Amino acid sequence: MASAIHVVRDGPLASTLVSEPASRPGALLDPRLVYVGPLSGQDGVGALAEVMGLVVRRYGLAKAQLEVVGDGDARGELVAALSREGVLDRVTFTGWVVPAAVPVRIRCADVCVDPAPTLPLNHHSTMIKIAEYMAAGKPIVAGDLHETRATLGDAGVLVPDGSPVDIAAAIAALAADAPRRAELGARALERARSLTWERSAEVLLRAYSAL
């Protein structure tokens, strides 16, 4: 019976939502990018090397920086790919950090990234990183996955197949467009207010009470 189904989404704690988005003014020659999450093939982290290479060389953003918050079995592969692209010195790996540090790292970003490819599992997975990025009021560039679209709506830039070429182009366009960054950050934060864990917990408690 449909009435017996309760959908409980993951989401950021309400306490992690910023009061208002913070966006650096003007065109950015040194955009700060952040990726949060596991470093695995499924998550498409290998694409980050190509993205950074394109951002630095094709778009001339030689001072761009990427912070990778997380770890996993694809880290060595990613480091090697970044080295081949000549951008390893533009990337910082924090490894896993305590949960309270994640929102802090995200708030340092100008643009947040999720290159997850269009795999069936990814299409049907709710990426908590997307909601965490939104809670910080940040513009987001991500692969156009069913669940990512359901979470993000029109509050970010979604690219087909998590294409590194399209991700890099979107990052460069946002770096050049301060009003667009501010607009997307504001939309993301507003949408995040309806996606907090506290709201999901209410659904979970109703599910328990129905058992």
CATH number of domain containing 56: 3.40.50.2000
Burial 150-163 (b: 16+ CB within 10 A, else e): ebbeebbbbbeebb
84 phi, psi to nearest 5 deg: -65, -35
Of 204, 209, 211, the residue nearest 6 (C-alpha): 204
Concatenate the DSSP letters of all residues of 120-158 into one string: HHHHT---HHHHHHHHTT--EEEE--HHHHHHHTTSSEE
**Domain presence at residue 3:** no
pLDDT tens, position by position, for the chain (211 residues)? 566 776 777 778 888 889 999 999 999 999 999 999 999 988 889 999 999 999 999 999 999 999 999 999 999 999 999 999 999 999 999 999 999 999 999 999 999 999 998 877 767 777 889 999 999 999 999 999 999 999 999 999 999 888 999 999 999 999 999 999 999 999 999 999 988 877 766 777 777 777 7
Q: Look up residue 136 and give its two tokens.
A: 């910080």
Number of domains in the chain: 1
**Domain presence at residue 15:** no
**Domain presence at residue 23:** no
Helix (H) or strand (E) holding 159: strand 157-159
Domain coverage including residue 99: 29-203
**Domain presence at residue 24:** no
Quote the distance between the C-alpha of residue 51 and its chain's center.
14
Strand ranges in 26-139 using DSSP code E only, listed in sequence order: 32-36, 65-69, 91-95, 111-114
Beta carbons of 172 and 59 less than 8 angstroms apart: yes
Residue 24 CA neighbour count, 13 Å, CB half = 16
Q: Quote the pTM value.
A: 0.91
Give the pLDDT of residue 1.
Answer: 56
